[in-house]
Amino acid sequence: MALKDRLEADRSAHDRMSRDTVGHWRSRLLDEINLDELALLTLEQRRARLEKVTGLLVAREGPVLAAAERANLIRRVVDEALGLGVLEPLLADPTVTEIMVNGPDSIFVERAGVVSRLDGGFASEEQLYQTIDRIVAQVNRRVDESSPMVDARLPTGERVNVIVPPLSLIGPILTIRRFPRAYTIDELIGLGAMDAATGGVLAALVRARVNIVISGGTGTGKTTMLNALSAFVPAAERIVTIEDSAELQLKQEHVIPLESRPANIEGKGAVSIRDLVRNALRMRPDRIIVGEVRGGETLDMLQAMNTGHDGSLVTVHANSARDALHRIQTLASMSDVKLPFEAIRAQIASAIDVVVQLGRGADGSRRIVEIAAAGSGEDGEPDLLPLLTFKAEPVGADRVTRGVFRHHPLPPVLATRLEHAGEAVPERFRPDPEQEER
């Protein structure tokens, strides 16, 4: 057997022994405590009581352990008995942005855009099911063969998706996306997501009430960018936010956050994004911010943008700015209001002013890769004029993504809107006088 294989076998054996040890002490702990008495305590008191009892059990019946090993064992046993087991330290780690559990023995985490596999896992599939039940119970949901999928937001903000057999062929699957921290534009500039000139023009466009679509693939930072741009909405305006899972963290005083609701176990009571968009129009909003459009509500959003709700912000899943317009056209056609494609294209051309496209580099970094001004072409097809492009360099052996931001002049219609709003056009986005003369 090769050295690598022996090390892998030793590590697997150690992981199994470690999980078996934790399982043994968890069983001993549950035998020792009074569950009725424990139920009367607060969460902090329960944890303190369980840690004390576990420590006494290990000291009385267990092997001699170093202080660090003993503390780690006690923490893991209590996490298994009280919390979410192996997920507890991951949820406590602020660098972890996503947790992906693909069955009891396969756990992946994302840190700084990079996905890696953990060494450990759950002791059994039964334990994973128990953890899932504890999670979904917090939002009054259940998971079983009759209801094998759950998509919800925990009270602490994390988005949770669960899918179990028979839909999943490899056992119960649990995905937890952490509540994103609200970054400012300056912080995103410092992280390389954009340069200072781009941050300046985006801030000016938001203040000038330009309708902006933020586009990108999964995990490219659309919600983070939406949060950052929303900070430039004037504090005096009434803002209505609409999301599937509330993640936006606006700091303005006059904010009305709305969240959709899935159907209950009987299949009733669902409130869709579209229902909320339609209701928001009756709430006298100055701005409407939609976390993501993915269905017929897209047409309602376009009509809102075209009927006086300037300065709206919305995100959509797409791989380029042009694809974003095509996808919005497709989503709008899913509405129960049947409009010809030509009419939908006209709505898009008049409603959407700017598309901000996000992407991920090979190293997991997230940045703006394209900004384009939207308008109407000669054939009625929505047209795009580049305002910013990111020219990536070939990825080297270090797998770090590098490149340069290239700026282009604002079209006259956008430059005029900025001027009328009292906003200066950033120098790098001003037309070149020599080119204009030629």
The verdict on 280 and 373 lying in the same domain is yes
pLDDT band at 407 (very low <50, low <70, confident <90, very high): very high
Per-residue pLDDT tens for 282-335?
Answer: 999 999 999 899 888 899 899 888 888 899 999 999 999 999 999 999 999 888
The verdict on 329 and 358 lying in the same domain is yes
Name which residue leads in pLDDT, 12 or 410.
410
The verdict on 64 and 101 lying in the same domain is no
Q: Tell me how crowded residue 215 is: count the other CB atoms within 10 A of its CB.
A: 28
The model's pTM is 0.75
Q: According to the model, what pLDDT value does residue 56 have?
A: 82
The verdict on 205 and 248 lying in the same domain is yes
The verdict on 358 and 337 lying in the same domain is yes
Q: According to the model, what pLDDT value does residue 6 have?
A: 40
Name which residue leads in pLDDT, 397 or 322.
322
Per-residue pLDDT tens for 174-211?
Answer: 999 887 678 999 999 999 999 999 999 999 999 999 99
* Cα–Cα nearest to 161, from 235, 245, 95, 217: 245
Per-residue pLDDT tens for 415-430?
Answer: 999 999 999 988 899 8
Rounded to whole angstroms, the Cα distance separating 106 from 128 reads 11
Q: According to the model, what pLDDT value does residue 9 have?
A: 42
Tokens 């700015």, residue located: 321
Rounded to whole angstroms, the Cα distance separating 81 from 301 reads 47
Q: Is the dihedral of CA 110, 115, 119, 125 positive or negative?
A: positive
pLDDT band at 378 (very low <50, low <70, confident <90, very high): low
The verdict on 208 and 71 lying in the same domain is no
Report the number of distinct structural domains present in the chain. 3
The verdict on 114 and 78 lying in the same domain is no
The verdict on 159 and 244 lying in the same domain is no
Angle between helices 341-351 and 321-332 (to 10 degrees): 130
- Supply the range of the domain harboring residue 347: 185-437
Residue 109 confidence (pLDDT) above 60:
yes
Per-residue pLDDT tens for 1-60?
Answer: 454 444 344 344 334 446 667 767 767 776 777 656 655 666 677 778 777 888 888 887
Per-residue pLDDT tens for 58-70?
Answer: 887 777 778 888 7
Q: According to the model, what pLDDT value does residue 232 have?
A: 96
Listed residues 179, 203, 220: the one ending a domain? 179
pLDDT band at 372 (very low <50, low <70, confident <90, very high): very high
The verdict on 382 and 424 lying in the same domain is yes
Q: According to the model, what pLDDT value does residue 136 have?
A: 83
| Angstrom distances, CA of residue 359 to CA of 177, 230, 234, 351 | 18, 20, 28, 24
CATH of the domain at 303: 3.40.50.300
Listed residues 116, 150, 179: the one ending a domain? 179
Say if strands 313-317 and 287-290 run parallel, antiparallel, or are unpaired: parallel
Q: According to the model, what pLDDT value does residue 76 have?
A: 75
Per-residue pLDDT tens for 226-280?
Answer: 999 999 999 999 999 998 877 888 989 999 999 888 777 677 788 988 899 989 9
CATH of the domain at 129: 3.30.450.90
Contact 148, 167 (CB under 8 A): yes
pLDDT band at 435 (very low <50, low <70, confident <90, very high): very low
Listed residues 62, 82, 102: the one ending a domain? 82
| Angstrom distances, CA of residue 63 to CA of 123, 236, 385, 403 | 21, 65, 70, 56
Q: Tell me how crowded residue 97 is: count the other CB atoms within 10 A of its CB.
A: 20
Per-residue pLDDT tens for 116-163?
Answer: 998 878 878 888 888 888 788 777 778 888 889 888 777 777 888 999
Rounded mean pLDDT of the chain? 84
The verdict on 78 and 198 lying in the same domain is no
Q: According to the model, what pLDDT value does residue 244 have?
A: 83
SS3 of the chain? CCHHHHHHHHHHHHHHHHHHHHHHHHHHHHHHCCHHHHCCCCHHHHHHHHHHHHHHHHHHHCCCCCHHHHHHHHHHHHHHHHCCCCHHHHHHCCCEEEEEEECCCCEEEEECCEEEECCCCCCCHHHHHHHHHHHHHCCCCCCECCECEEEEECCCCCEEEEECCCCCCCCCEEEEECCCCCCCHHHHHHCCCCCHHHHHHHHHHHHCCCCEEEEECCCCCHHHHHHHHHCCCCCCCCEEEEECCCCCCCCCCCEEEEECECCCCCCCCCECHHHHHHHHCCCCCCEEEECCCCCCHHHHHHHHHCCCCCCCEEEEECCCHHHHHHHHHHHHCCCCCCCCHHHHHHHHHHHCCEEEEEEECCCCCEEEEEEEEEEECCCCCEEEEEEEEEEECCCCCCCCCCEEEEECCCCHHHHHHHHHCCCCCCHHHCCCHHHHHC
Tokens 């991951």, residue located: 90
The verdict on 202 and 329 lying in the same domain is yes
pLDDT band at 436 (very low <50, low <70, confident <90, very high): very low
Q: According to the model, what pLDDT value does residue 375 have?
A: 79
The verdict on 54 and 92 lying in the same domain is no
Per-residue pLDDT tens for 71-90?
Answer: 877 777 776 666 666 787 78
